[in-house]
Amino acid sequence: MFTKYIKNNLSLFTLTSYLFIYYFFIRILYTYYSVEFQIDILFYRIGFYLPLLIWIILIVKDTKISIFQNIHVKLFLSLFTYQVLIILFQQLYGANYINTSVQFFQIKVFVYSIFNILLGYYSYKLIYSNSNKNIFITTFLLYSLLLLMNISNFSLDTNGFSGIHLLLGDTFIVVSLLGIFSKDFNKLIKISLVSISLLIVFIIHSRASFYSYVVVYLFFIIKEVGFKYFIYLSLTFIIGFFTLYFIDILSIDKRMSGVFQGKQDASLDERLLQFQYGLYAIKQYWFFGEYSGHVVAHATGYKSGSMGCYMHNWLSYWRQYGLLYFILFSSLYLYGLFIVFKDWLYNNSKPVNLIFYIALFVGVELLLFRSYSDTLVWFVFALMYSYMNEHKKGTKCLK
C-alpha cells in the first residue's frame, strides 16, 4: 500500500532533484552555518534518509529503468563489490585494530559511495528531463549567492569551522559544472559563468579544489576559443597580473600561493609525512593492502594514529585495498576518462562537456590531493559509464 502510494505520487526524477539539492546544497548550508546547534540532528538525517529509502524502493520496483540493466554500470559496480569484499576480509582476518569509530567512518563512506552511484546515474538521466533539469542551474545560482554573501577581504568567512573549505570547494565545483553545462548557454555566457565560478573557488581558499579546477578551466578555454586565442588570453592575463602585482595594487594570498613562494606550509608538510607513511605501508603490504592501517599509532612514528592520516593522493587506493584493486580501479577510471575525452575532442554536446570536466576535476584531485574516502569518484563513475552505455547504443540524447 505504501509503495503503491509512493509510485503513484512520486517520480524518480522528482526524488533525484530533491536528493541532489539536499546533498549538494542543504547539507552544505547545514554544515556551513553550523545549524546543527539549532536543528536536531535526527530531523536533519530524516530529511535525507527517508527520501533515500523511498528512492531505493522506486528503483527496485521499477525494473524498466533499473540501474542494474546498464551493462557499463555493472562494470564499475563489480569494482565496488570487490572493494566491499576486501574491506570485509580485512575486518575479519587482518585488521584487528579497526575499532568502533573506524567502522562508523567507513560505514559512512560506504553509504555515501552507494548514494553517489545512484545520484550520478539518475543525474545523468535528469539532464534530459524537461521538467527537472533546471534544478542544476538553480542550485548553482543559490550556492553562488550563499558564498558571495559571506565574503570578507576577498576571502570566505568559514565561521570558524575547520575543514569546511574542502567541502565547499569540491561540491561548489561539481554544482557549477552541472549547472553551467546542462543548459544551452552561448559561448560568452559559458565563459563568464565558468570564470566567475573559478573566482569563487579561489575565494573559498580550498587549494586542492582551486588548482584542480584551474586544469579544467584551461581545457575549457582551449575548447571554447581555440589554442591560438588561448595563448593570447594567457599572455594578456600574465602581463596584467604581474603589472598589478609589481605596482602594489594586487596582493598574493599567502595560503593560495605560499607553496610556490617557498613559504613554510604545515598542511603540505603533514601531507608529505602521510605520503611517506603510505609508501612504507605499500612496501610492507603491497599485494593485499592494509585497510585503515593509518589509524594505528606506532612508537617509531610510522602511522600517526589519526582517522584522517591517510595518503592524500591516488596511491591511497593501493595502500588501502591492495595492488589488484588499485590496477582495476585505475584502469576503469582512466578508460572511462579516455573515452569521454576522445568524444570531447570532436563533439560539443552537453553531456560530453559536462562529464569530461567533472571527471577531469575529480581525477586531478584524486591524483594529487584527495584519497580513497572521497565518495565523489563514484558519482563520476556513474556519469561516465552511463554515458558510455548510451554512446554504445547510439541514442539520440547524445546529440
Question: CB–CB of 208/369 below 8 Å?
Answer: yes
In a domain, 280, yes or no: yes
Question: CB–CB of 180/159 below 8 Å?
Answer: no
Structural domain that includes position 356: 84-108+275-399
In a domain, 291, yes or no: yes
The percent of the chain in helix, strand and coil, each rounded to the nearest 5, is 75, 0, 25
Return the C-alpha cell found at 317.
587506493
In a domain, 235, yes or no: no
In sequence order, what DSSP letters do the residues of 30-73 get, joined into one string?
HHHTTGGGTS-HHHHHHHHHHHHHHHHHHHHH-GGG-GGG-HHH
pTM across the whole model: 0.86
In a domain, 2, yes or no: no
Residue type (1 letter), 133: K
Instruction: Tell me which DSSP letter residue 398 carries.
Output: G
In a domain, 338, yes or no: yes
Q: What pLDDT tens digit does each residue of the chain (399 aa) get?
A: 445 545 555 678 888 899 999 999 888 888 777 665 556 667 777 888 888 888 888 777 765 555 556 666 677 778 888 888 887 777 776 566 666 777 778 888 888 888 998 899 889 888 877 667 788 999 999 999 888 888 766 567 666 666 788 888 999 999 999 999 988 888 889 988 998 998 898 888 888 899 999 999 999 988 887 766 667 666 666 666 566 556 654 455 555 555 554 555 677 777 788 888 888 888 888 888 888 777 776 555 555 566 667 788 999 999 888 999 999 999 999 999 999 999 999 887 888 999 999 999 999 999 998 888 899 999 999 899 888 887 765 444 444
- Indicate the burial class of 27 (C-beta count within 10 angstroms; 0-12, 13-18, 19 or more): middle
Task: Specify the number of domains making up the chain.
Answer: 1
In a domain, 364, yes or no: yes
Cα–Cα distance measured from residue 340 to residue 344, given in angstroms and rounded to the nearest whole number: 6
pLDDT in tens, 256-282: 555 554 555 677 777 788 888 888 888
Sign of the dihedral defined by the CA atoms of residues 203, 352, 82, 317, in that order = negative
Cα–Cα distance measured from residue 66 to residue 59, given in angstroms and rounded to the nearest whole number: 6
Cα–Cα distance measured from residue 380 to residue 138, given in angstroms and rounded to the nearest whole number: 21
In a domain, 396, yes or no: yes
Cα–Cα distance measured from residue 139 to residue 27, given in angstroms and rounded to the nearest whole number: 12
pLDDT in tens, 194-234: 989 988 988 888 888 999 999 999 999 888 877 666 676 66
In a domain, 90, yes or no: yes
